[in-house]
Structure 1
């Protein structure tokens, strides 16, 4: 379902809208945010130099460090009296990033989430069980208001309480659930422990986000819960969930709502823009935010962009599923390694669960990497043979061979009901 006809507009029409909104955004940032005024002046860029998105590379980058340096409200472009809501990212690596919304911003947010739900196949009248956390995290309330905007029914159950989640699915016959991909798998495991056949649940769609999800993990979610798994992308600094979403017709990349967010992909090392189809770091510029205009935000997420026409009829650019983050990059024995590379190899084997952990140690000034993978509950094969096959594949794919690979019994790796799952433990 197309929620707003701008999603199918000709590229030329969309470009005109982007050009106008980018000019307005740069002017708003320059006039009302001293940080951007100083950054633009230092770069020798005047707002009048920006005639449209072809000039976006002239603008300075914004980073998560800038949000923390300007904590709590140094990036706000409006007076406190115009702010209607505040959210914040997690502060696990320092001060949280505080984000603000005017009434207009909240309207935009509700609409882009409603567009995302419509793209996922959610219809007015459907019951959506929202299992994202409410509070400062943007996931819960962001999805909540979009569900209502679409005309669907929201069950604001929040994160955790997994047995109750499953009971609600049974009793209320939820059509859709929104959660992280790792939590989706935990739901299935808990249902099995409760003696509930997930195939008997009316659930048809899981919209997951907040964590990278590789193709093997998506396949596990869809097959185990007998649902369509739809990837939803967003981040607090830009707006929250609703920056982009897959369509249920194709599931071949996430449609970016380009009338509100302008995407680029750049080389993570140099910051130079990369051509279509080449993987790099996603950079986003807001085009309609009042309270918190953001210029060229380096998301840290690795992806590609494609302008090929989609079978769903949307003409907006599609970003690939995020494969990892620049700050997830591990340097092991002088070589670059992303955890998603290991996940992609391991989860392609039958007989293992999509549950794993990576431990890094330093012994005698040398890096040591240990991988632990969980066996499937019904695995009855030769563990040593399976271990050898996985080790051989890792050896062929990675630039080095892990020091150890341990296959453990089903359920041995700790799960999490709330928040993002931790896969990497760096003890160095």
Structure 2
């Protein structure tokens, strides 16, 4: 599944390919999707106006509420008889986001996932345990089909039943693990409770995604499980996992499958397109998808782009690991704070576990942030004086690095709810 034609294509060739596909897609959505025809017409733009890649900026943005407003298939460009599968988001903040696929869409997605796994060192010799949810969520079947395309033996374990996950790893000789990064830590913790040292098992690679995670969490997972931890980035709105992936370089950047998606960075406030290398909101346009191509979809993820030939040999555009989401950004005492910044600090403190929650409360007219983090058992057993000492150390580091005052509590081991999927790290208690 090493697709050298695209993964190592020259920039000029890639951009020529992208322009052809962008023209096709713009014409496709204008003809097939009334929502986009109306949006184009309101801006006074037509598919014929796309003559160079820079003309992408003439096209309208798409946001999550557009998908909810057109639920379930208002943005579908094909006849319902051509839809062979439908995925959806959880819908925890409103109507779910649906993602219809044609047979061609599924084949493209499978190829992107196979690239993702191959870049992580997965091969036909591997036994892959898929601990993602296997329902409407794109992660489970996305990883499943990519692993099957590589010829892996796939264990569709699904999420949850953590003891069984560990038993399967022991009994079936799992060599590759797929899950959210927070669930990987839950598995590692449960294994320790069971007296199982995962580092002595055959498992050697993990491919994780579906939630933001830091380089510090990557190291924590690698140390606890004894694996090489890789990242798969994606969105239900684009295809699912497989939009971008990291490789053997693990330099903090992910390769974008840019023959399938065009990436831009914009200022999230002014919506101005920013030059490559500047940090802002990531925007994607699907240029090969047939059932539901997204035009300039605002991901709300904050990152930056870079173009260079990687040490792995790929020339695909690179995006930095996501800092956080613009809609998850907290403003505390006038300072913009991403949960990932707090995570990086906590994971560098040896006295605490990588289990924490951030709590937002009102303090007068301003928002105040507090942090609950689990102390390691041996630290907790030393008593209150030690816990206060560790909490003050963390508070000092947060103040020194981020510049805000935060109240930290070291709470008992295993008192914070564990995740079997996407971890909930931020709790809003302002109205409680």
- TM-score if structure 1 supplies the norm length? 0.96
Kindly state the Cα deviation for residue 256 of structure 1 after the two structures are TM-superposed: 0.5
SS at match of 2:65: helix
| Distance in 2 separating the partners of 1:385 and 1:200 | 35
SS in 2 for 1:268: coil
Partner of 1:238: 238
Q: Hey, what does 1:394 align to over in structure 2?
A: 398
Question: 2:327 is paired with a residue of what secondary structure?
Answer: helix
- 1:58 is aligned to 58
Task: Please state how far the C-alpha of 1:260 moved relative to its aligned partner.
Answer: 0.5
Structure 1 residue 164 and structure 2 residue 167: aligned?
Answer: no
In 2, Cα distance between the equivalents of 1:168 and 1:216? 27
Task: Report what 1:27 is aligned to.
Answer: 27
Distance between the aligned counterparts of 1:368 and 1:23, measured in 2?
48
Which digits, 9 at most, give the CA deviation of each residue in 1:343-395, with x for residues without a partner? 22222222111111111222444433221111223437743332222111111
Matches within 5 A, 1:19-418: 19-379=19-379, 382-402=386-406, 404-417=407-420
Distance 2:429 2:162 in 1: 31
User: How far apart are the structure 2 equivalents of 1:249 and 1:347?
Assistant: 22
CA contact (8 A) 1:4 1:115 kept: no
Q: Which runs of 5+ in 1 are unaligned?
A: none
Q: Which moved more, 1:164-173 or 1:249-258?
A: 249-258
User: Separation in 2 of the partners of 1:52 and 1:165?
Assistant: 50
In structure 1, distance between residues paired with 2:149 and 2:2? 14
- The equivalent position to 1:427 in structure 2, one of 412, 419, 429, is 429
Q: Report the 3-state secondary structure (helix = DSSP H, G, I; strand = E; otherwise coil) of the residue aligned with 1:327.
A: coil
Contact 2:300–2:325 (Cα < 8 Å) also in 1 = yes
Distance in 1 separating the partners of 2:71 and 2:166: 40
Give distance in 2, aligned partners of 1:117 and 1:155: 15
When structure 1 is superposed on structure 2, of 7-16 and 341-350 the one drifting more is 341-350
Alpha-carbon offset, residue 12 of structure 1 = 1.2
CA distance in 2, matches of 1:340, 1:239: 25
Residues of 2 paired with 1:4 and 1:263: CA distance? 20
Range with greater deviation from structure 2 (92-101 or 381-390): 381-390
Decide whether the 8 Å contact of 1:231 with 1:321 is kept in 2.
Answer: no
Q: Deviations over 1:113-163 (max 9, x none)?
A: 001011111011211111111111111111111111111121111111111
In the TM superposition, residue 306 of structure 1 has moved relative to its aligned partner by 1.0
Q: Is the 8 A contact 2:119 2:248 kept in 1?
A: yes
Checking the alignment, whether the CA contact within 8 Å between 1:372 and 1:408 is kept in structure 2 is yes
Verify the 8 A CA contact 1:129 1:154 in the aligned structure 2: yes
What CA distance in whole angstroms lies between the structure 1 residues aligned with 2:225 and 2:307? 32
Q: Which moved further from structure 2: 339-348 or 303-312?
A: 339-348
- In structure 2, do the counterparts of structure 1 residues 251 and 179 end up closer, same or farther at CA, with 3 Å as the change threshold? farther
| Superposition misfits of 4+ residues, deviation over 6 angstroms | none
Give the aligned CA root-mean-square deviation in angstroms: 1.5
- What TM-score do you get using the length of structure 2 for normalisation? 0.95
Contact 1:130 1:144 survives alignment (8 Å)? yes
Inter-partner Cα distance in structure 2 for 1:5 and 1:165 = 38
Aligned length: 426
Q: Which runs of 5+ in 2 are unaligned?
A: none
- Structure 1 distance, partners of 2:147, 2:237, is 21
How far apart are the structure 1 equivalents of 2:228 and 2:149? Answer: 22
CA positional deviation for 1:29 = 0.6
The CA deviation string for residues 322-351 of structure 1, in whole angstroms up to 9 with x for no partner, is 121111012334443221222222222221
